[in-house]
Structures are given as structure tokens and as C-alpha cells.
Structure 1
């Protein structure tokens, strides 16, 4: 057994763990990084990166079908799913060196390619190494949740960890789960030539604003994705042609492949957290506002910390704890300024409160302003007029923004910045943006907030008339 003493030991080399390791070692800390699986974690290998590469292929295929209104002859594209799969893995391979063992060892991080298990509140074992650290960071992420559905043990199924290994296009993909992952993969595979059926127990895209989610769902239905909501799966069966999914209502959906996209679970099973005196709950490791666990020497960040399961949240958490772990300064994590996006077409993005939650919190103090894509000149020019932005305003500041439409994931960034920095609506309204761009929907939404104050206010009109009488 080899003994290692270090300042910080990070367990998990996903987005959050790598960010802590890179930042800490370059600031002079001694850093040990423990990873028993793949560097880069879920995002690089099974999540954000491969899914967006597949979505890009679907977008290219759909462009062949959608040109008629622009004077470009439409046609059904010739599809080569194996080449699409190669593209997905080429993208992973291109990004992979940034997250590699070699790069981090080059930075000065001691990388141990083993799974870690706590021996005590201050010691971790990883293979032949026994690591004692001043601070530990649990950054083990999450894995696909496999629900206890009758028959599932006897049926071959896919999760995001196996989906991107398919070399042959699924003939008919059945997806259980209508959240962001399920709907992104539904549209991508439909555009790449698969039949797709989504079975959702509650409401598809149910965490987003229902009005804006419906804009997205309508487009998916228009493209041929079958979406069944309020359909709880009770059983799955293997068939001669693939798999059958049976709901509590007695409906049967048969297809060639089954994808589970019903949520994720925190990766805590291997860690022996009892020995570390770290408490857990159903969602993951229990943390306070500083991301410290019940053992004050140990932090938990990203998916395993039980909050928003997003790559950029893990990166944000890394910045929060570096301040605390390296400099001993108080640092708290917040979530009200964290945006998220679903990369369907049209995209769906959110930051802060939805309209429903904002009305519950602010009541009559809330103003909701809206601006449709159909009144944006760039959207009109590109034929992408299906979309809407809603901004929830209280005390002259945005408290939530919902966007459905082209490039919503890009547009939400301006509002995330505004909310992170406590900016008023006047800051958005005063911003000069290039014309014609989709980003003008943000400015027009801000303008819609001020329009009643300026153009429908009798006092303002009276002042203007008075001033005009005396101007030379």
C-alpha cells in the first residue's frame, strides 16, 4: 500500500472534478484526482457531447426536407447511420485530449486510475493507494436511472451510456421518458430515419413552462414523433421483432429498440460514505449552501450533490468550492441564476422562475412581458417564426425568463448574466444589438416591459405636450 498525503483529493473526473483539479493545481495546491472509469465523465462520453453531435446530424438531414419555402427543392436525404455514429465518436475523440490523463498529469495533478472508497473521515483508498487529504471533493456524477418495471430484467434496453454505440439505425425506437434527454433523442432519431414513440407518465417537458413546451412538442409531432403523455409503463416484454411496452391503461407500444430516459441517480454506491461520516438522501449527497457535506472536510459538487443535474452547474460548483477549499473564504452556491436548455428544434431554455412559480412568489408585484418570434425580422427571413419569449419581472428586475424558439439556448445567456448580476430591465433595453439578429427578441421583450409606461401613460403624454409648447 502506497501512502499519499495531499491538500485536495478529488473523486471523479467529470466536468466538476476536472475544473477543481485544474484550478487548484495551477494555484499551487497539491492535487490528487481519482477516476476509475473514463476521464471526462458522462458529459464527454455519454451525454452532452455525443448527443449534440447526433442532433447536428439530424439537423443536417432535416435541412434537405425543409427547403421548399425558401425555393430550394426538398428531398428525402440519403442516410448512413454508421457514418453518423463515426461522426459522434470523432467529436468525442477531438475533445477528449482536453480531459485526458496526460493533460492533467502535465499540469501537475497526480491522477490515479482507480475507483475510490473512503476508509475514514480523512482517508480514501484507490487501488494500491491510501490517500490522506486536507479536503476531499466528491464529484462522481450520476448514472441513468433504471426503474423497477416488470419484465425489464429480461429485455434488452438502451440508456444514454449505450445509445451512442449503435452502428445500425433503430427501425422503431420506443423511448420511456419525455424529459430533455428523451425529447432530444426522439427528434434526432426521427430526423435520421427512425420511427419514434415517446411514452411519458406525466407531461412531456414537464419541468418547463407548459405554453412554451407545447411549441416544441407540436414541432416534434409535426415531424412524426408519436408522443403519449399520462401513460405510465407497467410492463415491458421482449418480442420477435424487438420489444413491447405496456402501460397501466392497457396500451401496447411495440418497437425494435427501447431507450430508458426516466432520470438519473447519484453515483454514491462505491464510496463507502458511512466510513467518511457523510450523510446522503434520495437525491444524492447532502450538502449545505457552501457545498460542504456533514463531514466539513468533504465537499460534493455537480450531479452527486443532488441539485440541478447539468454540466455547467458542476463547473459553477467547482468555482464556488475553490474559493473555500484553497483560500478558506466563505463561498455559497446559488441556483436562481442558472440557465438550462433543451436542444430540440426549436430549442427550449429557462433561467430563474417560470411564470407559474413567479406568480406564486410575487403575486400582483409580477409583470409578465411577451414577445413572439414572428415579429423578429431575422426569424422571418429564415422562416423560423415559431417561438416566444416570456420575461417575468418584479421590482424592475427579471426573476425568470422562458424562451422557446431558434437558438433559445444562446439567447438565454443574456438573461442569465442579467440575473447573476442583479441587473434591471433597463440594462437590457439600453443594449444596442446588431440588426437583424435573433438576439433582438431579448431587447424587444425588455422594450415591451417599458412600453406601457411610456406610450400608454397619460402623464407622460401631458409632459411631452407641455415641453413641446416651449421648445424653440
Structure 2
């Protein structure tokens, strides 16, 4: 383990940390220390509430550890002409330098009782973690989401990479197959291609970035091709296997795509399985996540949710906005609402593709008239 990774781990999940003795009762308990959970906890503590924060894996969640910070750092390194080794070293150094902002030490210093371990409900007002029971008046669930691995025959056996493991690579793959051309797939495909890896990007649909405008997505597709990415659109993967050629993806048309590594970027799965939500009376859907109303209340009036575990748009800034609403509603009778949020997003390929509001496809499906304008810059 590098010095940077050792520092990072000490900050976000210190091995010698001992959970505190629980308070008699907390005003607010937050489950999950990603962007939504961190903001909820520190805001509530700043308002004078007794707050418990539970994290089972690493403080900072996806954004710091395996999402925004490492991916954007890798993109910048690739665009700046770094080698693979130098780019990955910079990823680890940047992540370690930022980690103290999300560290256990910082949150303990802010008056939050941090508990490391898996949290699960015993009842709506009792949560178990690492052998302790936390009693709480209100709870915010902010457990986020993880990479989804499609149930394709043989895929699990080839040990595919995801955004959660790709930044652990110490050797550059000569060939990389990327399954899924959403933002994660496109960003990492372009980064690895610019670093010199032969990349094939497979997408089931007719365009990359299917949630964005087709014309804009096409400009990004052309840039990927110029950088050496081979696009396979309309590619239905039916299975995977290890062969003498490497890790192989089999397509419905009989094509076999061989690579040294396979990166799965095929969507997200909500982290809800280990929370014992039925004991708390919280309804959850396997696809949509925890059901919430416009005020981010779950089916139990004293339990709220924020961030990727319940949001339709899974972005750090969306989790931040929801956290601000959840903490207000959990602690005060103000009735802040999340249904009026207008959430932009950006895919950090070169060129970048930014978006806000409804797409033309969504407007057409809703039967709403619209005009289209195109303006050239530069």
C-alpha cells in the first residue's frame, strides 16, 4: 500500500478507532457518511443537536473514495499527458489530501458521535451498530448506492472492475472493455484511451449518454473515437468467460470482445439490503430505492432519506441539496421541499457535456411543445 493510500485509509476508516459510548438518546442519527450523510450530520450538530453518524465502509462515500475525486483527477492527468503510473499516483495523492475534510477526526471534532460498522434498525427509534444500540428521535438514511453488476452468465467469474475497484489498478491494462456508455463509462473510456490503453466501449442503446441530447452525445462520441475508443452501439452482451485470449464478452450477434480487464459501468444499485427497513416500517423499491415524499420523509414520519439511496438523479450536488432539506425537516417544522429542485449535471469528457432541465425526448413524451436553438461558440 502506498503512503498516500495508507493516509487516506487512516482518515476515512481508521483501524484503531473505537466507537464512543452512545448517548442516552440522539436528536438525529444519520446512516451513511457519503455527501448527503456528512452534510446532514455536521449541519445538525452545528445547530446544537445530538447527532450520531454511522458508516460501514469509508467516510466520504463514493465521491471522495471511488467517484468524483479519483475519476476527475484521472481525467485531468490523462488530458495533461501523464503516464498511467503517474496519473494513478496523482489520483491517490489528491484523494489523500482531500480525505481529511471527510475524516472521522473532523466529524468527531465537530461534535458528531461517529460509529463505524453496519447499522440496522431494531425499531423505528432504535438502531444497532457494532453491538451497541442507538436510541434516536429522528433518522436520516443516506446509505447511497453501489455499482450494479448485471446478472450475465460468467460475468462474476471474470472479476470485472467497477468504479469501486478501477482506481486500485497498479498495472495498466493493454486492452479494456467498458460495459455501459453512461457518464462513468464514457469518462473512464476516454481517460484510459488517452493513457494508451486500447478501449472498446459497449452500449446496448443506439447512442452513448442516453440521458442527454442525441446531438450533444454524438459530439462526445466523435471525440471518443478520435481518442482511439472503439464504440459498439446496440451491443447486447450475453455472457462472459476467461479464455486464452483474456477476459471475453460474448455478444448476441456472435462477436467476442477480448480484453485484459472488463469495466462494468451499467448503472447503480441502492444500498438498502442490510438496514432491516421493515422493522422500522420503511418502504423500499428494489429499483427506485427508499420511497420518500416531497419533504424526503419515508413511510415512517420520523425517518427521512437523502442522496443516492432515494434520488432519481444520483449526483453529489443533488445529494447535497437533499441533505439540506432533510436536516431542516427532521429538526424543524418548516416543510422544505425537494420536488422543486432543478438539478443540472455534467459529464467531464472532452468536450464536456452539461445539461439542465428536460430533454427534447422527455418533452416529446410529455406532449409539450418546444423550440430548438443551436448556437456555435468559438
Fold match, TM over 0.5?
Answer: yes
Query: Which position in structure 1 is the counterpart of 2:3?
Result: none
C-alpha spacing 1:335/1:370, structure 2 compared with 1 (3 Å): farther
2:213 maps to: 209
Partner of 1:301 in structure 2? 306
Asked if the contact 1:22–1:104 (Cα under 8 Å) also holds between the matched residues in 2, the reply is yes
Q: 2:232 aligns with which of 222, 228, 233?
A: 228
Q: 1:316: which partner in 2?
A: 321
- Cα distance in 2 for residues equivalent to 1:302 and 1:323: 15
Alignment of structure 1 residues 190-339 onto 2, 5 Å: 190-202=193-205, 203-281=207-285, 282-334=287-339, 337-339=342-344
Shift of 1:37: 0.9
Shift of 1:10: 0.1
Q: 1:240 offset after TM fit, Å?
A: 2.5
Q: Is residue 34–residue 60 contact of structure 2 (8 Å, CA) maintained in 1?
A: yes
Q: Which one has a larger percent helix, Structure 1 or Structure 2?
A: 1
The match for 2:192 is 189
Q: Secondary structure at the match of 2:149?
A: coil
- Aligned equivalents of 2:347 and 2:149: distance in 1? 22
User: 1 CA distance for matches of 2:361 and 2:38?
Assistant: 37
Partner of 2:91: 88
Name the structure 1 match of 2:39.
19
| Number of positions where the alignment pairs a residue of Structure 1 with one of Structure 2 | 356
Q: Which has the higher contact order (CA 8 A, sep 6+)?
A: 2
Q: CA deviation at 1:315?
A: 0.4
Q: Distance in 2 between matches of 1:356 and 1:261?
A: 23
Structure 2: gaps spanning 5 or more residues: 1-20
- Give secondary structure in 1 for the equivalent of 2:106: helix
**What are the Cα deviations for residues 129-182 of structure 1, in whole angstroms up to 9, with x where unaligned?**
211111100000001001101111321210111100111111000011111100
Aligned to 2:67: 47
- Counterpart of 1:368 in 2: which secondary structure? coil
Q: Note the alpha carbon deviations across 1:315-372, whole angstroms, 9 max, x for none.
A: 00011112211222111103651001100000111111112323454644x3332211
User: Match for residue 405 of structure 1?
Assistant: none
> Aligned pair 1:355/2:375, yes or no?
no
Q: Secondary structure of 2:114's match?
A: strand
Cα displacement (A) at 1:40: 0.2
- Correspondence 1:152 to 2:155: yes
Paired position in structure 1 for 2:183:
180
CA contact (8 A) 2:250 2:257 kept: yes
CA distance in 2, matches of 1:361, 1:118: 40
Do the aligned partners of 2:78 and 2:87 also contact (CA within 8 Å) in 1? no
Kept in 2, the 8 Å contact 1:4–1:129? The answer is no
- Could you tell me whether the CA contact under 8 Å between 1:286 and 1:306 is conserved in 2? no
Q: Decide whether aligned partners of structure 1 residues 336 and 369 sit closer, same or farther in structure 2, where only a CA change above 3 A counts.
A: farther
Q: CA deviation at 1:2?
A: 5.6
Query: Within 1, Cα distance between the matches of 2:227 and 2:356?
Result: 28
Give the direction of change, closer, same or farther, for the CA distance of 1:236–1:192 in structure 2 (3 Å limit). same
What's the offset of the Cα at 1:270?
A: 1.0
Query: In the TM superposition, what whole-angstrom CA distance separates every residue of 1:17-74 from its partner, at most 9, and x where no partner exists?
Result: 000111110111111001111000111000010000100011112xxxxxxxxxxxxx
CA–CA distance in 1 between the matches of 2:23 and 2:79?
Answer: 52
Deviates more, 1:237-246 or 1:266-275: 237-246
Pick aligned residue for 2:127 from 120, 124, 131 = 124
CA distance in 1: counterparts of 2:365 and 2:158, whole angstroms:
44
| Alignment-derived partner of residue 17 in structure 2 | none
- Cα distance in 1 between the residues matched to 2:140 and 2:96: 27
How has the CA–CA distance of structure 1 residues 242 and 121 changed in structure 2, closer, same or farther, with 3 Å as cutoff?
same
State the distance in 1 between where 2:362 and 2:181 align.
21
User: In the alignment, is the contact (CA less than 8 A) between 1:4 and 1:130 conserved in 2?
Assistant: no
Runs of 5+ in structure 1 lacking a partner? Answer: 62-78, 377-472
